[in-house]
Amino acid sequence: AALKDGLRSQVSAALKEGRVTPTELCQRCLALIKSTKFLNAYITVAEETALKQAEESEERYKRGQPLGVLDGIPVAVKDNFNTAGIETTCASNMLKGYISPYNATVVQKLLDQGAVLLGKTNLDEFAMGSGSTDGVFGPVRNPWSYSKQYKEKSVPKSHSEDEESNWVITGGSSGGSAAAVSSFTCFAALGSDTGGSTRNPAAHCGVVGLKPTYGLISRHGLIPLVNSMDVPGILTRCVDDAAVLLGSLAGHDPKDSTTVQDDFTPFELPDLSDVSKLSIGIPKEYHAPGLSSEILALWSKAADLFKNAGAKVVEVSLPHTRYSIVCYHVLCTAEVASNMARFDGLEYGHRSDMKDSTEGMYAATRREGFNDVVRGRILSGNYFLLKQNYEKYFVKAQKVRRLIANDFVKVFRSGVDILLTPTTLSDAAPYTEFIQEDNRTRSAQDDILTQAANMAGLPAINVPTALSERGLPVGLQFIGRSFQEKQLLTVAKWFEKQVQFPVIQLEEVKRHDSGVFQHQKFASFS
């Protein structure tokens, strides 16, 4: 029997039945966070408040009045979501020590349902990057670097070489959240997804990463990268759990004018047995340059899986895919330049000691507060927004964006229900190799398979599929129709059941385990 059997109410059931208490759960997670500190997944661990929340949850369970499935469940939140009273840094010097006075809507919703907030996870600075390597608190290490599966497959080149230099990246920018879920230190985590930042690390860390439809989940309190593409992302160990999280987070927020007004009804995922009515589209353009033969083979195998189960599998075309990188670059940097304008050191955050003039103070503050990646994007963005360039670049890119979005509309209109694509070009790279190229280059390469969904605002999900030859996770991506998360997740769940992705074998987890984590029942909570 596998972890992802899709049985509901596993940890939740255990909590309800008193087989484990919220405090125990919380303490175990906190202990595991401590012993996996080398992963650098967490920037802030909110031990005191977490234990207090666990205590309160315990009271509710004792009274027989839990708030819901999430009551007492330890979760982690990417450090670009505002959390009242807990530092929010965006992994940047600009916000080191910044304590926000308010909770992001999604954070508030989790807390309102009794979830236990363990801490804030690490990321690329201001969510700019695809490796979680460019934050001021250092890179995040992929837990699979320390897995039995990876170690077995890696051949040490010399005696002096050890795990230390061989470790692989998590992908990004929500690497901390992905690592936290992957290493069992929490049951679910929030990430953000602008060009793939939830799905990419999910694929590399072997967890489920859901990017919801734009406008479904509130962005109020999510420090923006690209307002017109950002969404809060959900990272869990199985698809059912992602559905639970989605149910607790989705819905109109009056504080976010870009959320849709329509009512959202949380759903439970059916156990799909018959896929014969399904039409799966395979976009040929996603056979991108640089796609590893391994992943190509897996993708093909997956398509066959559907075909053999009776689904209709067709090749489709999204012809403007190849323009999406450039288009994204223009639109992303333009919005970044605008969004970062508020960081002037006056109202909050880092302020330089330079006192010669206001402008001097601004310039020094921003130079000291932002890393090169952020500053590079600001400069590019301002360039594209100059009056003489606006039509040529920004407006042009908006038009191309429309074309990209229309590609999907056409395909879905032709009868295709879900698209199946790879999530990443290869399995996770070793850190030493990854940093050979700069952030911009890496982002441009790694975003190609995930970004178009952000352009079009569509929901997409990474489902861990198999281990690579190096013993590292590889995931595949499903892209669905706008607001059709139920269908998307139902198909994803069916696929998850078919592939039976293996559980990570981590020493640290085993050590802490007194049945809580490795025991299959408790790996997922729903």
Partner 1 sequence: LAPWIPVVGLEIHAQISSNSKLFSGSQVQFAAPPNSLVSFFDASLPGTLPVLNRRCVEAAVMTGLALNCSINKKSLFDRKHYFYADLPAGYQITQQRVPIAVNGRLSYSLCIDNKMSQMVTKTVRIKQIQLEQDSGKSLHDDTRSQTLVDLNRAGVGLMEVVMEPDMCCGEEAAAAVRELQLILQTLGSSQAVMAEGQLRVDANVSVHHPGEPYGVRTEVKNINSIRFLAKAVDYEIQRQIEELENGGIILNETRAFDSKLGCTVPMRDKEGKQDYRFMPEPNLPPLILYDAKSLPANMNHQQVINIDWIHERLPDLPSVKREKLVEQYGILPEHSFTLLSEDGLAEFFESVVKQTQMKPKKVIGWILNDLLSYLKEHSLTVKESPVSSFLLADLLNLLEKKEISSTAAKQVLAELWKGEGKTPLEIVKEQKLELLQDQKELEQICQAVIDGQENE
* SS3 state at 177: helix
Task: Pick between residue 337 and residue 504 the one whose CB is nearest to partner 1.
Answer: 337
How distant, in Å, are the alpha carbons of 29, 37, 130, 312, 399 from that of 508? 12, 10, 26, 44, 50
519 binding partner 1? (CB under 8 A) = no
Please identify which of the residues 173, 177, 182, 526 carries the catalytic annotation.
173
Provide the minimum distance between the beta carbon of 38 and partner 1 in the complex, in angstroms, as a whole number. 30
387 binding partner 1? (CB under 8 A) = yes
User: Which one of residues 28, 109, 211, 220 is an interface residue with partner 1 (CB under 8 A)?
Assistant: 220
Considering only the stretches 109-117, 220-228, 322-330, 496-504, report the one whose residues sit in contact with partner 1 under the rule CB under 8 A: 220-228
Provide the minimum distance between the beta carbon of 165 and partner 1 in the complex, in angstroms, as a whole number. 36
How distant, in Å, are the alpha carbons of 37, 145, 169, 178, 525 from that of 122? 12, 17, 13, 10, 23
User: Which one of residues 17, 277, 390, 469 is an interface residue with partner 1 (CB under 8 A)?
Assistant: 390
523 token code pair: 């790996």
290 token code pair: 């640089």
User: Which one of residues 86, 95, 202, 313 is an interface residue with partner 1 (CB under 8 A)?
Assistant: 95
Footprint of partner 1 on 355-374 (CB under 8 A): 355, 358-359, 362
Q: Residue 157's CB: how many other CB atoms inside 10 A? A: 9
9 binding partner 1? (CB under 8 A) = no
Task: Pick between residue 296 and residue 385 the one whose CB is nearest to partner 1.
Answer: 385
User: Which one of residues 346, 367, 438, 511 is an interface residue with partner 1 (CB under 8 A)?
Assistant: 346
455 binding partner 1? (CB under 8 A) = no
Long-range contacts formed by 284-287: CB under 8 A, 24+ apart: 284/315, 284/316, 284/317, 285/317, 285/318, 285/319, 285/321, 285/322, 286/318, 286/321, 286/421, 286/422, 286/449
Angle between helices 485-499 and 239-249 (to 10 degrees): 160
Per-residue x/- mask for partner 1, residues 301 to 340, rule CB under 8 A?
---------------------------------xx-xx-x
Instruction: Give the residue from 315, 314, 328 showing the smallest Cα distance to 404.
Output: 328
Provide the minimum distance between the beta carbon of 256 and partner 1 in the complex, in angstroms, as a whole number. 5
User: Which one of residues 99, 379, 386, 409 is an interface residue with partner 1 (CB under 8 A)?
Assistant: 386
Region for 373 from its dihedrals, namely left if φ exceeds 0, alpha if ψ lies in -120 to 50, beta otherwise? alpha
Considering only the stretches 174-182, 193-201, 275-283, 347-355, report the one whose residues sit in contact with partner 1 under the rule CB under 8 A: 347-355
Provide the minimum distance between the beta carbon of 385 and partner 1 in the complex, in angstroms, as a whole number. 4
Query: Cα–chain-centroid distance for residue 195?
Result: 10
Provide the minimum distance between the beta carbon of 391 and partner 1 in the complex, in angstroms, as a whole number. 12
Q: Is residue 219 within 8 Å of residue 78, measured between CB atoms?
A: no
User: Which one of residues 158, 257, 293, 436 is an interface residue with partner 1 (CB under 8 A)?
Assistant: 257
Considering only the stretches 202-210, 306-314, 381-389, 432-440, report the one whose residues sit in contact with partner 1 under the rule CB under 8 A: 381-389
Long-range contacts formed by 479-483: CB under 8 A, 24+ apart: 479/408, 479/418, 479/419, 479/421, 479/453, 480/417, 480/418, 480/419, 481/412, 481/417, 482/213, 482/457, 482/458, 483/213, 483/216, 483/260, 483/262, 483/459
477 token code pair: 């991506």
Dihedral of CA atoms 442, 385, 371, 212 in degrees, nearest 10, equals -60
User: Which one of residues 154, 292, 352, 382 is an interface residue with partner 1 (CB under 8 A)?
Assistant: 382
101 binding partner 1? (CB under 8 A) = yes
118 token code pair: 């363990």
136 binding partner 1? (CB under 8 A) = no
228 binding partner 1? (CB under 8 A) = yes
Region for 21 from its dihedrals, namely left if φ exceeds 0, alpha if ψ lies in -120 to 50, beta otherwise? beta
User: Which one of residues 14, 222, 416, 466 is an interface residue with partner 1 (CB under 8 A)?
Assistant: 222
Please identify which of the residues 12, 177, 182, 197 carries the catalytic annotation.
197
Task: Pick between residue 92 and residue 321 the one whose CB is nearest to partner 1.
Answer: 92
User: Which one of residues 42, 61, 81, 525 is an interface residue with partner 1 (CB under 8 A)?
Assistant: 81
Known catalytic residue: 197? yes
Tell me whether residue 308 is exposed, middle or buried, using C-beta atoms within 10 angstroms of its C-beta: 0 to 12, 13 to 18, 19 or more: exposed
User: Where do contacts with partner 1 occur on this chain (CB under 8 A)?
Assistant: 81-82, 88, 90, 95, 100-102, 104, 219-224, 226-228, 254-258, 261, 334-335, 337-338, 340-344, 346-348, 355, 358-359, 362, 382, 385-387, 390, 394
What amino acid positions are annotated as catalytic residues?
A: 78, 173, 197
